[in-house]
Structure 1
Amino acid sequence: MIRNTFLIAVALAVLTASRAVLGDEGPSTQWRSLGPRSSAEASEGSDTPRTARNTPSIDFPSGASSPRRVSADEPAGVRLAGANLPADGGQVWREYDISTYAMRVSSTERPEQAIVDWILRETGYEAWHGETVSILSASPRKLRVYHTPEIQAVVAEIVDRFVGNQSDSQAFGLRIVSVNNPNWRAKAQGILQPVKVQSQGVQAWVLRKEDAAFLLADLRRRSDYREHSSPYLMVYNGQSSLVNLMRPTQYIRDIIVPAGSLGGYQPEAGQIDEGLSLEFSPLLSLDTQLIDATIKCTATQVDKMIPVVIEVPASPTTRQRTKVDVPQMTHFRFHERFRWPTDHVLLISLGMVAAPTDTGTGPLAAGLPMALGGHSGRADLLVMVESKPQQERAASGEQPPLREAKTYRGRY
């Protein structure tokens, strides 16, 4: 009897302790029905704004019903998308093997960049930064593209033009020459076939290779002929070359008087990169019958220096005069894309522009740098581009390119 009473007392004590831990409502609240709550209960049991509760759920590609911020540091409005990419425009994912091209190129650490640049030129920059979700990623081995089938077709053609067997044996000769007088056109008019050019003041022609050889020989006999690039400068298919004929020129641009100083001053030096810079990027067509090339040229010349006399404190009681220079300059910029047959030579006249002052070749040997501000010469600047297949280079006894192509990271 006493034992049973003791067991009942222990059981009541355990039950009382359990209710104290679970709260006043007791363990029955753990078995509450999950049916719909009343509007009053919903208002009291949630601190979420009403507008957020009424917003319909958003379906993500991964199947997640609603976005959640991972941490407080994550920007508001950023949602974590799943692995599936939107395909509203019928986009497809493709990978292209470009390792064969990358292994051939040793003149740059990122040979795949040339393929990306040509894709952007052919498709347009806007095609990759518009409403259509797209991806363009390149490594030395693979090119990964996510875009519509139409864009994928363009990309596939560009890749084939880089990795094809014909691209390995193709190179291009580039010459930059100038003459002081553009009257060479009168004699060569019959062999020049005009090419449409968008830039004002610039002309372009194509001519047969044998006619180009006669024209070059005739130009070399002129006393004002100058050549500004190596005659053996070769550029391989798909690569870019930058001919840099710039030279720095120094001048005094300003006078600095230290704050609180009673005397003394310091001249501030300035520098101008004067000369010519030309970038050339060629690409052969799949059937090897056409050449696509972009040519970008920049010329800068100081016509003269305009002096300005400034009074500066030489000591606490005296002042003196010194001179600063203000440059009067001429700038020329040109950027075009050309297409012409491989059995012809492209000839471009940039017009009477600032003549380069690098050390050139020619009868005058007139390429010696002149004093700053001591010239404002103009010359007809000519660019000649010629296709050089491997068999043609071997037949003429030409050596491999003496200068590796330099890659310039420009777009379009």
Structure 2
Amino acid sequence: MTYSPTQRTPIMPRTTLTTVFGIILSLLSGPAIGRVWGQGMALPSSSVSRSAAQRTAPPSTAPQNNQQAASSGGFVPRNDTPPSLQNAPAPSRQTATGATGRVTSGGQLPRGAGQEHRVYDLRSYTGYLTSHDRPHQAVVDWIVRETGTDVWHTEPFGFMTADRDELSVYHTNEMHQVVSGIVDRFIAGDKDPQVMNLKVMTVGNPNWRSRAHQLMQHVNVQTPGIQAWLLTKENAALVMSLLRARTDVRQVQAVDLTMHNGQTEKLASTRGRNYVINVKPSPAGWPPYEPETGEIQEGYTLEVSPLLSVDGRSLDCVINANIDQVDKFVDVGLELPLPNQQVHRTKIEVPQLVSWRLHERFRWPSDMVLLLSCGVVASPDRSQSAMPLLNFSAITGTTAGRADALMFVEFRGKAAHNLTQTPTVPQVSSRVSAPNRGRY
């Protein structure tokens, strides 16, 4: 350090001043300024995510990450981000300022009602269903059928999730008792394939009840218009013989469903019926208009889901049946203008539909037969008359396309016990006429 001849103040060398100014500039442009600003003002969440992503991203991918962050509102997926979260939606202004959620109780689940988290092992049941895609879904469905859906979406807080190996439930002790009872019917019940016999019949006149009434035990049903009875297998055979002796009875379906306990099987018999739904101008110019056709599926669909008790003495069964029938097509005439000031007359068709729905759960002893009557509704299988001009509906008292639809549901036990086997012919031994010399 030198002194001026006229002033006695010290003068720094130029190199020293350059070094001091360089240190000050480095401090102002370095990360220290970020820490100082951070103490007085918080950055938006998107800016913080973007800054963190820029600091952690490799130098070669920084421009690409910056562009992706700008398009996704600051979210930059990492290499281990799941595919479903790769394209995160841009946060709206309402989400950024309001509905962001909050962590309660230090991230712990609420236990105000004494909730417990339990895990149920399902491998002893799902291990047998190798050909089913999601066998554990049947366990969840039956639990919801038993408990209802409100208990999982209202107070007290609870949840349920499942995969192929285990069922995870968080709820009160009372709810766990219900869940364990359903799970036991799957894992401790019979795991062999079972046989459910279904017969769908139609009767033109419902007066068949007059002779079969004493053979059936009435059961209450929640669905309006539906009647249900329980029959012993002997009485069911008598009612079946009475029905088959009638001339207005038609058997629509008779099938043995081989299914596992708790799973759902579907039956369907539908056909499409075409009709003119609209008339539109023809692009070719001639004819001036062309019809636009639609299709309605007519027939029935049936879903059956049985669940046996652990001892096999009782049976719960959910039946979902849908019947749709086109009663007739109502013609509506149209008058459409032509270029030569004339009128083109055509028509469209409006379908008149008759539908019937049943979705209910039944419980009955497994050694009895359930009989359902849908009332006089649309026939599941419309019979086509060879001579439509001859209509005997007024004489028989029936309506065309209407019938009393009946469904017999019978549990027949294990599939191995219902296999048809050819009886073996007994072998009768006889004395050999030729002398036996003991060589064989």
Range into which the TM-score falls when normalised by the shorter chain: 0.7 to 0.9
Say whether the 8 Å CA contact 2:315–2:363 is kept in structure 1. yes
* Cα RMSD for the two superposed structures: 3.7
* Residue 103 of structure 1: aligned partner: 127
**Which of 76, 90, 101 is matched with 2:114 structurally?**
90
Q: Counterpart of 2:100 in structure 1: which amino acid?
A: V
Q: Deviations over 1:267-296 (max 9, x none)?
A: 111111111222211111223221111112
Moved more, 265-274 or 160-169: 160-169
* Residue 214 of structure 2: aligned partner: 190
Which aligned pairs between 1:11-160 and structure 2 lie closer than 5 A?
Answer: 21=23, 46=40, 73-74=90-91, 75-76=95-96, 77-79=99-101, 81=103, 84-105=108-129, 108-160=132-184
Say whether the 8 Å CA contact 1:288–1:342 is kept in structure 2. yes
Unaligned runs of 5+ in 2: 3-9, 26-31, 33-38, 43-72, 76-89, 392-398, 422-440
* Residue 300 of structure 2: aligned partner: 276
CA 1:230 to 1:107, structure 2 compared with 1: closer, same or farther past 3 Å?
farther
- Match of 1:201, SS? coil
Say whether the 8 Å CA contact 2:216–2:230 is kept in structure 1. yes
Whether 2:411 is the aligned partner of 1:387: answer yes
Across the two proteins, how many residue pairs are aligned to each other?
346
Say whether the 8 Å CA contact 1:173–1:232 is kept in structure 2. yes
* Residue 244 of structure 1: aligned partner: 268
Whether 2:230 is the aligned partner of 1:206: answer yes
CA distance, structure 2, for counterparts of residue 170 and residue 200 of structure 1: 31
Whether 2:248 is the aligned partner of 1:224: answer yes
Q: Deviations over 1:27-73 (max 9, x none)?
A: xxx9xxxxxxxxxxxxxx8457xxxxxxxxxxxxxxxxxxxxx9575
* Residue 361 of structure 1: aligned partner: none
Say whether the 8 Å CA contact 1:299–1:333 is kept in structure 2. yes
CA distance, structure 1, for counterparts of residue 350 and residue 297 of structure 2: 15
CA distance, structure 1, for counterparts of residue 374 and residue 240 of structure 2: 17
Whether 2:356 is the aligned partner of 1:329: answer no
Say whether the 8 Å CA contact 1:102–1:141 is kept in structure 2. yes
Q: Deviations over 1:247-284 (max 9, x none)?
A: 11100011113699797122111111111222211111
CA distance, structure 1, for counterparts of residue 358 and residue 231 of structure 2: 22
Q: Deviations over 1:336-365 (max 9, x none)?
A: 11111111111111111101226xxxxxxx
- Match of 1:214, SS? helix
Whether 2:405 is the aligned partner of 1:348: answer no
CA 1:120 to 1:165, structure 2 compared with 1: closer, same or farther past 3 Å?
closer
Q: Give, in angstroms, the shift of residue 303 of structure 1.
A: 1.3
Say whether the 8 Å CA contact 1:239–1:282 is kept in structure 2. yes
Say whether the 8 Å CA contact 1:349–1:382 is kept in structure 2. yes
Q: Give, in angstroms, the shift of residue 85 of structure 1.
A: 2.6
Say whether the 8 Å CA contact 1:173–1:235 is kept in structure 2. no
Q: Deviations over 1:161-213 (max 9, x none)?
A: 11224242543222211111112211111111111111221110111111112
CA distance, structure 2, for counterparts of residue 187 and residue 140 of structure 1: 50
Unaligned runs of 5+ in 1: 3-7, 24-29, 31-44, 49-69, 359-365, 400-412
* Residue 180 of structure 1: aligned partner: 204
Q: Counterpart of 1:246 in structure 2: which amino acid?
A: T
- Match of 1:233, SS? strand
For the pair shown, the structure with the greater C-alpha radius of gyration is 2
CA distance, structure 2, for counterparts of residue 173 and residue 210 of structure 1: 15
CA 1:342 to 1:131, structure 2 compared with 1: closer, same or farther past 3 Å?
same
**Which of 295, 302, 307 is matched with 2:319 structurally?**
295
Say whether the 8 Å CA contact 2:195–2:256 is kept in structure 1. no
CA 1:368 to 1:171, structure 2 compared with 1: closer, same or farther past 3 Å?
farther
Indicate the percent of aligned positions where both proteins have the same amino acid: 39
* Larger RCO (alpha carbons 8 Å, 6+ apart): 1
- Match of 1:110, SS? coil
- Match of 2:254, SS? coil
